[in-house]
Amino acid sequence: MIYIVQLIITLLIISFFVFSIIEIYCEIVKKSSWAFLGMLISLILFFLMITVRNHMVKNELVKNINASKIEQKNSLFSKRELSDIHLVSEKMRVIDKDIYVVLMPQKDTLYMNQDFNNKNKFWIHYKKYEILKFTAPVGYIIKN
């Protein structure tokens, strides 16, 4: 299901660029068009689908954490701490040190970076949905 949402997001990006090109063309030849409305709808739906995808990834990750045995390096996090993920849209500033957690038996890997300002805040990245070595943060957890 998450891959379908990813496909929809990709199609919305493409449609935004197509509507942009149509709008630019219509401005050059002095024709009126509804392309600007298409651009606006594509952009709104894009942000909505990003939010839907983030919630779906978070729910899947919490389900996998609760059903797995956890292998950790460099730090110890409880299942309760790892399951309490907060979704945000703020900019993250992190310390470069990565903390890896492997969920067994699926061997799903998630890694965390400590926040630059708050030492108890850790940003979570889920490698299962990594695209071209780029993982956006799922959210953050607070270490008690």
The candidate with the shortest Cα–Cα distance to 49, out of 81, 89, 8, is 8
pLDDT of residue 25: 93
Average pLDDT of 75-94?
A: 79
What DSSP letter does each residue of 92-132 carry, written as one string? P-EEEEEEEEEEETTTEEEEEEEESS-TTEEEEEEGGG-BT
Rounded to whole angstroms, the Cα distance separating 42 from 143 reads 38
Residue ranges covered by each domain of the chain:
2-67, 70-142
- pTM given for the model: 0.77
Task: Write out pLDDT tens, residues 14-37.
Answer: 999 999 999 999 999 988 889 999
